[in-house]
């Protein structure tokens, strides 16, 4: 990753790391790089989640877009996967989502999509970043500044949310009558779309965390706080519950008994159903190195193949495109159904899970039992953002990691990785004894913090 772009676009504290000036220059550089070969005035969709800083940054990005002669089309508050879909449906040249996904309200971010609805490849992000870094974020002389009639304009696409909802309703099924669904919308981008889609399909819908005020996104709710949905499922007596993150590209599930169904289990449930129906390409599911060993076991038992990538939906997608797979995702609930959309889509994921319930006639708790989860602990070491990628340079850290790898060689595994979006080093251990792996993970995280804080 570069200085600005992490594993999921540009992200930082709004008005501190991610300023209006930076957003303006990112809009300029991004519009220029993505559209410089075109012989027409480019059109770029600009959307946001519910964060209070979204207006400020959206206007700044749009100003940058217009300054190079491109046109900004505002879509308002819609999920990230809506941008990926609508860029294709509207035949636009690019899309930009302003969101920090699951992060707290003080953060925001900028994600780019190309004309095919895919997140940008590394080389394009590097080209955008090079323009910005070389100019110290100011006076980008390489980018032309048109005048007069050549300056771009901004417009509004008021039908964007409805168009996306209509697409979702046609993508998987047309009847959810008789199913009681609980939704946690994280006070984020799904707060309108999710309830609308499930109700229109006939489900009885109960909704929480769907009253965004600009400051409460992801606050004690959503996919990063699954206990909120567990309580809500119990209160409403729902058959199943779904929790989305702030920009609704992720979905986690809770069964009727209050048990969590994470992304690995979702891959198991949907993957097996697709294999039975003959729609799982090459009988293969794409996961990441963070995928639980239980998913390895489940796929082998059902004559399926599990391919693992580095952590990050971009790497999952790259593997899917490279080898012709159509189902992949992460433990966090970022699931890609490539036949339906070009990025993770929380609402689409929920619809696919409901399709399995309808196809099999099974309760969610029965489906969740398809995969046995091995105990897994994840502990975050809070470190200096500058130092986070240097942990293997310290002999004390290397020694501690090697000792744990030897300890769990036959009964589990140890995985250490840096966060692409936060100043964290993540320590993950799988093993048979939950108390033991918790202690070992905490001890290693403490050692890492000692040297990298």
The enclosing domain of 187 has a CATH number of 3.40.120.10
- Identify whether 169 is part of a domain: no
* Tens digit of each residue's pLDDT (9 = 90 or more) over 291-303: 998 899 899 999 9
Q: Span 333-337, mean pLDDT?
A: 97
Kindly tell me the sign of the dihedral angle through the C-alpha atoms of 315, 317, 322, 325: positive
Identify whether residues 292 and 336 lie together within a single domain: yes
User: Please, are residues 173 and 202 in contact by the beta-carbon 8 Å criterion?
Assistant: no
Least Cα distance to 189 among 167, 160, 169, 151 occurs for: 160
Which pLDDT score, from 0 to 100, does residue 121 have? 80
CA of 223: how far to CAs of 44, 185, 249, 391, in Å? 29, 9, 10, 29
Place of tokens 């690019």: 94
pLDDT higher than threshold 70 for residue 394: yes
Task: Indicate the helix (H) or strand (E) that contains 293.
Answer: helix 293-301
Strand 107-113 and strand 94-98: pairing? Answer: antiparallel
**Burial degree of 90 (CB within 10 A; 0-12, 13-18, 19+):** middle
Lowest mean pLDDT across 25-29, 303-307, 324-328, 352-356: 25-29
User: Please, are residues 95 and 45 in contact by the beta-carbon 8 Å criterion?
Assistant: yes
Percent of the chain with pLDDT over 70: 97
Q: Span 371-376, mean pLDDT?
A: 89
Q: Span 141-152, mean pLDDT?
A: 86
Identify whether residues 25 and 135 lie together within a single domain: yes
Cα separation, 280 vs 37, in Å, equals 37
Residues in contact with 306: Cβ distance below 8 Å, sequence separation at least 6, in sequence order? 284, 285, 286, 287, 291, 295, 296, 299, 300
CATH of the domain at 415: 3.30.310.50
Which pLDDT score, from 0 to 100, does residue 336 have? 98
Identify whether residues 184 and 319 lie together within a single domain: yes
Chain centroid to Cα 158, Å, comes to 25
Which pLDDT score, from 0 to 100, does residue 135 have? 60
Identify whether residues 351 and 203 lie together within a single domain: yes
Cα separation, 265 vs 370, in Å, equals 8
Q: Give helix 160-171 / helix 193-200 axis angle, nearest 10°.
A: 40
- Identify whether 168 is part of a domain: no
* Tens digit of each residue's pLDDT (9 = 90 or more) over 168-220: 999 887 799 999 999 999 999 999 999 999 999 999 999 999 999 999 999 99
Query: Domain residues for 448?
Result: 376-452
Identify whether residues 248 and 389 lie together within a single domain: no
Identify whether residues 360 and 382 lie together within a single domain: no
Q: Span 327-353, mean pLDDT?
A: 97
Identify whether residues 201 and 316 lie together within a single domain: yes
Cα separation, 363 vs 353, in Å, equals 11
Q: Which of 53, 60, 67, 101 is catalytic?
A: 101
- Identify whether 124 is part of a domain: yes
Identify whether residues 95 and 213 lie together within a single domain: no
User: Please, are residues 302 and 280 in contact by the beta-carbon 8 Å criterion?
Assistant: no
Residues 45, 47, 52, CA angle at the centre, nearest 5°?
150
pLDDT higher than threshold 60 for residue 137: no
The answer to whether residue 384 is catalytic is: no
- The maximal CA–CA distance of the chain, rounded, in angstroms, is 69
Of 324, 339, 368, the residue that ends a domain is 368
pLDDT band at 2 (very low <50, low <70, confident <90, very high): low
Q: Considering only residues 444 and 121, tell me which one the structure prediction assigns the higher pLDDT.
A: 444
Beta strands across the sheet bearing 94-98: 5-6, 9-13, 107-113, 94-98, 43-48, 71-77, 154-156
Identify whether residues 12 and 142 lie together within a single domain: yes
- SS3 state at 217: coil
- Identify whether 174 is part of a domain: no
- Identify whether 172 is part of a domain: no
Of 322, 347, 368, the residue that ends a domain is 368
Identify whether residues 197 and 74 lie together within a single domain: no
Identify whether residues 227 and 362 lie together within a single domain: yes
pTM, full prediction = 0.88
Total of domains in the chain:
3
Of 113, 130, 160, the residue that ends a domain is 160
CB count within 10 Å of CB 303 equals: 8
- Identify whether 173 is part of a domain: no
Identify whether residues 197 and 225 lie together within a single domain: yes
pLDDT band at 139 (very low <50, low <70, confident <90, very high): low
- Identify whether 171 is part of a domain: no
What's the mean pLDDT when you consider all of the chain? 93
Cα separation, 255 vs 258, in Å, equals 5
- Identify whether 202 is part of a domain: yes
Place of tokens 């110290």: 136
Cα separation, 362 vs 119, in Å, equals 36
């Amino acid at each position: 990753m570069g200085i600005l772009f992490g594993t999921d676009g540009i992200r930082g504290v709004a008005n501190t790391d991610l300023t209006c000036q930076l957003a303006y220059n990112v809009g300029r550089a991004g519009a220029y790089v993505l559209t410089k070969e075109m012989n027409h005035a480019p059109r770029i969709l600009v959307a946001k989640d519910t964060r209070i800083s979204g207006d400020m940054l959206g206007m700044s990005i749009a100003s940058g877009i217009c300054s190079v002669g491109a046109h900004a089309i505002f879509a308002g508050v819609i999920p990230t996967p809506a941008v990926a879909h609508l860029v294709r449906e509207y035949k636009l040249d690019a899309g930009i989502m302003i969101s920090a996904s699951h992060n707290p309200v003080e953060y925001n971010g900028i994600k780019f999509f190309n004309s095919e609805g895919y997140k940008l490849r590394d080389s394009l992000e590097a080209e955008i970043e090079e323009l910005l870094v070389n100019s110290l974020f100011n006076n980008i002389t390489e980018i032309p500044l048109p005048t007069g009639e050549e300056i771009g304009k901004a417009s509004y696409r008021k039908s964007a949310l409805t168009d996306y909802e209509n697409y979702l309703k046609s993508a998987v099924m047309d009847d959810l009558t008789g199913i009681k669904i609980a939704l946690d919308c994280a006070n984020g981008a799904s707060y309108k779309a999710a309830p609308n889609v499930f109700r229109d399909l006939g489900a009885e819908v109960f909704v929480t965390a769907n009253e965004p005020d600009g400051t409460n996104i992801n606050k004690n709710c959503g996919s990063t706080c699954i206990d909120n949905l567990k309580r809500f499922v119990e209160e409403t007596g729902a058959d199943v519950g779904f929790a989305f993150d702030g920009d609704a590209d992720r979905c986690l599930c809770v069964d009727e008994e209050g048990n969590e169904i994470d992304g690995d289990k979702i891959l198991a449930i949907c993957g097996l159903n697709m294999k039975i129906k003959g729609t799982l390409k090459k009988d293969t599911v794409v996961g990441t190195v963070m995928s639980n060993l239980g998913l390895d076991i489940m796929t082998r038992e059902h004559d399926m193949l599990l391919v693992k990538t580095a952590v990050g939906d971009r790497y999952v997608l790259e593997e899917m495109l490279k080898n012709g797979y159509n189902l992949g995702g992460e433990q966090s609930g970022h699931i890609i159904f490539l036949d339906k959309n070009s990025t993770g889509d929380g609402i689409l994921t929920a619809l696919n899970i409901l399709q399995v319930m309808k196809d099999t006639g099974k309760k969610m708790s029965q489906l969740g039992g398809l995969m046995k989860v091995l105990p897994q602990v994840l502990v975050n070491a809070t470190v200096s953002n500058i130092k986070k990628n240097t942990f293997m340079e310290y002999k004390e850290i290397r020694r501690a990691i090697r000792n744990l790898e030897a300890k769990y060689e036959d009964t589990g595994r140890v995985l250490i990785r840096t966060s692409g979006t936060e100043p964290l080093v993540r320590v993950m251990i799988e093993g048979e004894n939950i108390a033991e792996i918790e202690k070992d993970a905490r001890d290693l995280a403490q050692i890492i913090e000692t040297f990298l804080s």
